[in-house]
Amino acid sequence: MPHGRGERDASPYSGLHRGPGGLPLGPGPMGHAFLGSPIKPRNTVNTVRKLWKYFRSHTLHLATIFVLVMITSLSALVGPYLIGKAIDNFIIPKNFPGLSSLVIFMVVLYLGNSLLLWLQGRLTAKTVQKIIFEMRKEAFDALQNLPVRFFDGILHGDLMSRVTNDLDNISNSLSMGVTQIFSSLITLIGTVIVMLWLSPVLTGISMIVTPLTFLCTQAVSRQTRKYFSENQTILGELNGLVEENISGLKVVKIFSREEKEREKFHVVNERLRDTSIRAQIYSGIVGPLMNTLNNASFALVGGFGGWLAIQKVITVGTIASFITYSRQFSRPLSELATNLNMLQSAIASAERIFQILDEPPEPPDPPDAEEPERLRGEVEFRNVSFSYREGVPVLENVSFHVQPGQMVALVGPTGAGKTTIVNLLTRFYDIDSGTILIDGKDIRTIKRDILRSLLGIVLQDTYLFSESIRENIRYGRLSATDEEVEEAARLAHAESFILKLPEGYDTFLFDGGKNLSQGQRQLLAIARAILADPAILILDEATSNVDIRTEKYIQSAMRRLMSGRTSLVIAHRLSTIRHADMILVIQEGKVIERGTHEELLQKKGSYYRLYMSQFGGESLPRIPLSVEGE
């Protein structure tokens, strides 16, 4: 649960930071963490080593692919040699029966080679997709296990880009590149051996341009790697910007900021266009450059080979074979250059994935962590201090004690630390000092998932999944029957509007429940909490998005729900907390007042001024006591 609206001023991400895995952390959930900060590959060797761990579990498939690559590559070397023999032994002597037999053999050879190439491609595709499946699964699992603090300061669109676009890039690059690199290397080595065997002199002539080819390839490769890496990073920025803009579309329109958003998008889109152009230009240089060098080599071999044939040093068939091998020698060089560019892009994408995988997850529970089946609901904070960012305390020595079944309300100015108290109780963050106890036990000794499953939380900003209404309510307790789901909806006074929908409880919700009103979404969230049947109930402005009439129904349901349960309520409408057993007034991370509604009114302190500003009609001086959630 990201800290609520009231905690924005206490956010740990007021500036640009980087997490332990190197991920840029922005100024907050709505900040542009990546603008002007492209991620560059840091350690190619380490990234390749991590990728190899995924390939290692498929060694049998890889070995089979390698054998197929060897067979197809070596069989491709036979063709040019046979062409030379055909010229010398059959065409010049006009031996047509022998030529026919050789042609049939070559047809069978090439058909067999094509079949093996198909098998090789099929097996490669299956292997690569299995690897991508594993990487995608691990990336998603890592996102599930990362602490809330991580998501507070990174663009969600960029994370989506890493799990989708970057993995697709790795998939495409590996599918097309790995086998071709193997094939190119084998073809290159085999071609050189055959060329040396046919004519060492002509081999030396054809190798004149090889060092130049290598140097040009290296220079182009460095540039393409740089721009492909930057391209993937900016694409993540663009996704984040689009995702943020769609989510905040109403805010954009309310403040008429369409032109401003277009300008922001245009800036990032221009950067993406420029880097994409540069990446494609440098990548496109390889083909024409290699063709030019190949043609130069071909001209040298043809001219010098013709002179050797005139001198009767070599035969015409040998020249024909050698020219073909010379062409074949340059082709794998071109393929190597192209595929290395593709792998550079894949490595850049893999580094972005591994940055997520390398992020430390939530600290594990201690081996002796307890797994209580039920809580009585006693809550105690003992001298709790906490800061999102070192040196900027949000809570300082906060202490209070809640008996089982009591209702405690938290009120105070924006950024005072009220939602932070809830975040600490649910262990979305761990405290800096002090102790938080439930039923007399330090919450750090209770398994984190068990602790959270025993708490019921209704947030101000309701989130619903792309499922039916029934399944969204059942999310509170997955084992609940349809009857229990419907009973929870009745208790939350949600059934009246649910039954008016065309599909009733089976109505499908999309885009976070945008086909319902905000108040209706809030009612479903309350029904979900009712179904969870928690020992401790946490309400963060739970009724702020419903009208007064609906609020009265909800309050009636809440009183039944809160009976016998400990309840922590962050409230804006003070009318909803008049009957609280204890009200805590939080200001600047400290409890400055505590007591019942009547006791605090008699003190005529901060709570009194806040209450009178809502209900007393008095003309009061302006004080910084806006309640969280306004």
pLDDT of residue 547: 66
pLDDT of residue 346: 85
pLDDT of residue 322: 77
Gap between the Cα atoms of 427 and 139, Å rounded: 23
Gap between the Cα atoms of 407 and 580, Å rounded: 5
Span 264-283, average pLDDT: 85
Q: Do 37-357 and 457-533 come out as alike in CATH topology? A: no
CA distances from 66 to 111, 331, 347, 410 (A): 20, 20, 21, 66
State the pLDDT confidence band at 557, using cuts at 50, 70 and 90. low
Gap between the Cα atoms of 479 and 533, Å rounded: 12
pLDDT of residue 627: 34
Q: Average pLDDT of the chain?
A: 79
Is pLDDT larger for residue 207 or for residue 530? 530
Query: With 60 as the cut, is the pLDDT of residue 23 above it?
Result: no
pLDDT of residue 186: 86
- Any idea which of 204-218, 358-372, 467-481 has the lowest mean pLDDT? 204-218
Residue 128 burial by CB count (10 A; 0-12/13-18/19+): exposed, middle or buried? Answer: buried
pLDDT digits (tens, 9 = 90+) for 73-92: 888 888 788 887 788 777 87
Given its phi and psi angles, is residue 445 left (phi above 0), alpha (psi -120 to 50 degrees) or beta?
alpha
State the pLDDT confidence band at 355, using cuts at 50, 70 and 90. confident
Span 139-160, average pLDDT: 82
State the pLDDT confidence band at 334, using cuts at 50, 70 and 90. low
Going from N- to C-terminal start, the domains of the chain cover 37-357, 457-533
> Which residues does 521 contact at the CB level (< 8 Å), separation at least 6?
462, 464, 512, 513, 545
Strands 433-438 and 379-389: what pairing? antiparallel
State the pLDDT confidence band at 211, using cuts at 50, 70 and 90. confident
Contact (Cβ atoms closer than 8 angstroms) between residue 199 and residue 322: yes
Gap between the Cα atoms of 423 and 225, Å rounded: 42
Query: With 50 as the cut, is the pLDDT of residue 290 above it?
Result: yes
pLDDT digits (tens, 9 = 90+) for 297-322: 777 777 777 787 777 777 778 777 77
CA distances from 162 to 17, 152, 153, 168, 624 (A): 19, 17, 16, 9, 42
pLDDT of residue 577: 83
pLDDT of residue 364: 83
- What is the chain's length? 630
pLDDT of residue 24: 38
Gap between the Cα atoms of 321 and 350, Å rounded: 42
Nearest Cα residue to 209 out of 296, 150, 301: 296
Contact (Cβ atoms closer than 8 angstroms) between residue 328 and residue 78: no
In CATH terms, the fold of domain 457-533 is Rossmann fold (3.40.50)
Architecture (CATH level 2) of domain 37-357? Up-down Bundle (1.20)
pLDDT of residue 414: 77
